[in-house]
Amino acid sequence: MVELLLRPKEAMIPIKDDQELGLMRVAGRVAGTVLDEVAQWVQPGVTTKEVDEFAAARIKHHGAKSAFLGYRGYPSHICLSVNEEVVHGIAGPRRLQYGDILSLDVGVVVDGFIGDTAKTVTLGVCDPESKKLIEVTEQALYDGISCALAGNRVSDISRAVQARVEANGFSIVREFVGHGVGRSVHEEPQIPNFVTGGGSPRLKAGMTIAIEPMVNAGGAEVKVLRDGWTVITRDGKPSAHFEHTVAVTDGKPEILTWSERKLSELKVK
């Protein structure tokens, strides 16, 4: 019975052909490059509004548009989430301080296709717990990516992410998950960062998915602020977020949201 319900859902997962994958590579490279540029530029004393304005200028420079501005009414060009803010923080007058951690999430559209990528950076040196949280969350992302293989199930990615996070004593946000990405920001399938009961879609070459662990130093519980967007941890402890858009291929997973800088590093090696 479960299989009968799941098959139609699997049928809703878009498969990209070579031309579409080429466009996803372009969008992904721009998203990764903008994320890299913003991460380099941000420093203590600037407001999240100023960071968002810098991001908007870089997105424009690369001939792209923000995929988030106006999405369900979202008001900023990128998502900026400070310390206990988990995801979907919006630009405003808050001034970043030395020791803060900042999760940046960049989504851009180029030629109708979207790249979606995030990372948590530190403003100067942060406390040791936050530093560990950031390292573990990034490692969990790469653990998940390594399981994005044709023939595996989505739950293989989820299991790998969850194992890394829980082995380090941190907790996984349940209310938000990764997703397919392509012509829309959010496509099928959902990519939870934890194993759920029930069936899980089979991965196929040509699927493009955003894997994005959101990890809390304290409890898993979150709530949304009165601004209607900013998600924060209930206990006020810090949270980290890393994300890449990845193509499932007949061979190894292809990370589509490497920055230009990272791509040139990978070429010379």
Instruction: Provide the binding-site residues for ligand MF3, judged by CB under 6 A.
Output: 68, 71-72, 74, 79, 88, 105, 107, 116, 179, 185, 210, 212, 243
Residue nearer to Co ion on the CB measure, 85 or 243: 243
Buried b (16+ CB within 10 A) or exposed e, 115-137: bbbbbbbbbeebeeebeebbebb
Nearer to Co ion, 20 or 105 (CB): 105
Can you tell me which of 36, 37, 84, 105 binds Co ion, judged by CB under 5 A? 105
Judged by beta carbon, residue 36 or residue 212, the one nearer Co ion is 212
Shortest approach of Co ion to residue 179 CB, angstroms?
A: 6
> CA–CA distance from 113 to each of 169, 186, 208, 260 (Å)?
37, 12, 11, 18
Closest approach of ligand MF3 to the CB of residue 87, in Å = 7
CA distance 9 to 235: 36
234: Cα separation from own chain's centroid: 21
Is residue 116 within the footprint of Co ion (CB under 5 A)? yes
Residue nearer to Co ion on the CB measure, 66 or 200 = 66
Strand order in the sheet with 85-87: 85-87, 231-233, 222-224
Of 132 and 186, the one with the shorter C-beta distance to ligand MF3 is 186
Tell me which of Co ion, ligand MF3, none is bound by residue 71, counting a contact when its beta carbon lies within the kind-specific cut-off of 5 to 8 angstroms: ligand MF3
Q: Quick one: which segment of 51-59, 167-175, 190-198, 207-215 binds Co ion (CB under 5 A)?
A: 207-215
Q: Does residue 189 have a cis peptide bond before it, meaning omega lies within 30 degrees of 0?
A: yes
Strands 171-172 and 214-216: antiparallel
Contact flag: residue 211 with Co ion (CB under 5 A): no
Residue 82 partner contact from ligand MF3, Co ion, none using kind-dependent CB cut-offs of 5 to 8 Å: none
Residue closest to Co ion, measured at CB: 210
Q: How many residues bind Co ion (CB under 5 A)?
A: 6
Q: How, if at all, do strands 222-224 and 214-216 pair? A: unpaired
Residue from the set 210, 217, 231, 255 that interacts with Co ion by CB under 5 A = 210
* Cβ nearer to ligand MF3, comparing 103 with 233: 103
In the complex, minimum distance from the CB of residue 125 to Co ion, in angstroms, rounded to a whole number: 26
How many residues make up the chain in this entry?
Answer: 269
- Among ligand MF3, Co ion, none, residue 88 binds (CB under 5-8 Å by kind): ligand MF3
- What is the distance between the alpha carbons of residues 230 and 79, in angstroms, rounded to a whole number? 9
Four-CA torsion 248, 139, 87, 187, nearest 10 degrees: 10
CB of 114 closer than 8 Å to CB of 183: yes
Cα 153 from chain centre? 20
Q: Give the binding site for Co ion (CB under 5 A).
A: 105, 116, 118, 210, 212, 243
